[in-house]
Each structure stands twice: as structure tokens, then as C-alpha cells.
Amino acid sequence: MPEIPFVETLVGNLAPRVAGRTIRAIQVRSPSLLKTVDPSLSTVQGETIRSVRRRGKLLLFDLTGSLVMIVHLMRDGRLTITPSRQRPTRDVALVLTLDGGEDLRLVEGGPKKRAGLYLRRTGEVEQTEPVAGLGVEPLSEDFTPEGLSAMLDQAAMQVKRFLGTQRYLAGIGNAYGDEILWEARLSPFASSPALRAEERSRLYAAIREVLARSVEEHRRHFGDALPMREPPVLLRAHRRAGEPCPRCGTPIAAVYYSEKETYYCPTCQTRGKVYADRRLSRLLK
Ligand SMILES: [Zn+2]
């Protein structure tokens, strides 16, 4: 699922292409896409896209007429700019016809259609789904070591799960959760309130460093193109099971945990302990 580095790059590259353009027509082609009924979707017709911004993993399009269109890509949703004359393929879930002969399209491949489109009035964005309840932006000044520490105590959950919980930190998912914990040399399975002061500092620094660095790496990787796939080459631990840890050379281990795959270095992160893959053991029973 696209996380901060991907969405930040997408927003940055999308903005110059769509800002200032007027929406001529909107067509929702996937029945599950639209999550709101009021205001009606037809109200965006004739409005102009003023700006695009990111909040967590969401894209927010500020429109004239005091409207905000919010897109949640979920795992497989992607945005493209496509000539309007090109007939939409079956996996196109949304077509926004812009002036100038181009569409902004949301494409969702794969069998599970989970992407979401929300239309809100400007004043209600913060109080309603999907923005309401999102936690702090980890790259913002509002995110402090003290704030992190308080959240770790409050959360009382495994630290990998904590990192992916959007009401604490907005925009981190399974991939960058692994990357951050690898950078911090912390076990994904450690209980969040049990982290020592020095481990909390390491975690804070790793969250900032990994995300800031990854945004830069994504920008370099994609140039001015709209990102379509998370580049595996930019990940150090996630999805690298069996490959040598870039820090110590130990093969990266993987475990299916909390319904997600977690990747970690047993030497750097878990004092040599390799966790059993519970998914495999379940199958073997
Ligand atoms: Zn290592």
C-alpha cells in the first residue's frame, strides 16, 4: 500500500499537472469507490482544482466551491493523467475529465476493489472520515520525541503494529514500519511501553530519517513521473527475506504476523532470535 514516500512524491508530481484545471465531468465506474453521498458528486463539475496535498496516505484535492475531494488509494489504486480520447480500460474506477483534453483517472487493478473516494465540504474535512482520527504527521514539527513516548505508553501494543496504527502516526504502513525498525535496530515484536528511553530516541530518529530519506529517494527515482509501483530497490529490509542484511550480512528473516508479513534482521533486531512463521506452522498442523 502506498505510504508517505510514495504518496508525497505522487502529490508533488501531480500538483503541477492538475492545479488550476477545471473539472468538466466526473464519472465513477466502480460501484464500491464512492464513500460519501452529500455533497453530491455532480457538484464538482465546473469547479477548479486549486491544490493537491497529502494527509497520511490520503490525497486531498482542494477545489473551488469549498469542496475537497479525498482519494484513498488503498493497496492497488493508482492515479494517472491520460488523454481523454483514450477509452478507459476495465480497471479504471474514476474518470475526472479536465480541461485541456486530459483525464485524471484512478485505476485499480487486482480483484479487491478497496480504493475510496470521498467528497467533503472544506470545513468538515477534519471532523469526518477518512481524515478524522488520523494521528500526527511524522515529518511535521508536531511530531516530537515526547509525543512519541506518550503514544508508546498509551498504545501498549507491539511496536510494529504501533507504527502502522493511523490514529497514532499517519502515513506509515507495513513496508516503512519494517524499514524504520530495521534502521532503529528494534524488534518489531517488542511491546511499545517496554521500550527504554534510549530505544525510544532511536525509534524517533529512525522514523524521521527513514521517511525523509525515502521521500528524497522516491523523488530521485521517479523524477517528474507519477509513481505507479513502490520501487523494491529502495527498501533495505522489507520484502528481502533471505537476502543479507545491509548492515551485518545476516539473512533477513520474515514472519507472518498480525495478518501481515514482517521482515527483520535477527542479529540487528531480535538478539539472534528467529521467530517461527505462524502461518506455516498453522498449515502444517
Ligand atoms: Zn543485521
8 A C-beta contact, residue 188 and residue 177: yes
Ligand 1 centre distance from Cα of residue 236 (Å): 10
Cell 492515479 belongs to residue: 79
Ligand 1 centroid–CA 247 distance in Å is 5
Give yes or no for residue 204 having a pLDDT over 60: yes
Count CB neighbours of 79 within 10 A. 26
Q: Please return the burial class of 285, using the count of CB atoms within 10 Å of its CB with bins 0-12, 13-18 and 19+.
A: exposed
> What is the full DSSP assignment across 121-135?
EGGGGGGSTTTTT--
CA of 250 to the centre of ligand 1 (A): 5
| Grid cell of 236 as nine digits | 533495505
Per-residue pLDDT band for 110 (boundaries 50, 70, 90) equals confident
* Distance from the alpha carbon of residue 89 to the mean position of ligand 1, in angstroms: 44
- Expressed in angstroms and rounded, the spacing between residue 150 Cα and the centre of ligand 1 is 29
Does 229 have pLDDT greater than 70?
yes
pLDDT at 271 over 50: yes
Enumerate domains of the chain plus CATH numbers: 4-127 (3.20.190.10), 145-284 (1.10.8.50)
> Burial code of 19-58, b = ≥16 C-beta within 10 A, e = fewer?
eeeebeebeeebeebbebeeeebebbeebbbeebebbbbb
Tell me if the pTM is above 0.75.
yes
- CA of residue 282 to ligand 1 center, whole Å: 28
C-alpha 75 to ligand 1 mean position (Å) = 28
pLDDT at 92 exceeding the cut of 50: yes
Give the CB-side neighbour count of residue 87, counting CA atoms within 13 A: 2
CA of 154 to the centre of ligand 1 (A): 29
Separation of CA 182 and ligand 1 centre (Å)? 8
**What pLDDT, on a 0 to 100 scale, did the predictor assign at position 1?**
85
Task: Give tens-digit pLDDT for 148-195.
Answer: 999 999 999 999 999 999 999 999 999 999 999 999 999 999 999 999
Kindly give the distance from the C-alpha atom of residue 266 to the centroid of ligand 1, in angstroms, as a whole number. Answer: 7
d(CA 230, ligand 1 centre) in Å = 23
Contact present, 234 and 217 (Cβ < 8 Å): yes
**What's 143's DSSP letter?**
-
With DSSP H G I counted as helix, E B as strand and the rest as coil, what are the percentages for the chain, rounded to 5?
A: 35, 25, 40
- 246 C-alpha to ligand 1 centroid (Å): 7
Provide the percentage of residues in the chain whose pLDDT is more than 70: 96
Answer whether residue 126 shows pLDDT above 70. yes
Cα–ligand 1 centroid distance for 239 (angstroms):
15
Ligand 1 centroid to Cα of residue 240, in Å, is 12
Q: What is the pLDDT of residue 276?
A: 80
Q: How far is the CA of 185 from the centre of ligand 1 (A)?
A: 8
Q: Which amino acid is at 207?
A: I
How far apart are the CA of 221 and the centre of ligand 1, in A?
A: 25
Note the pLDDT of residue 275: 87
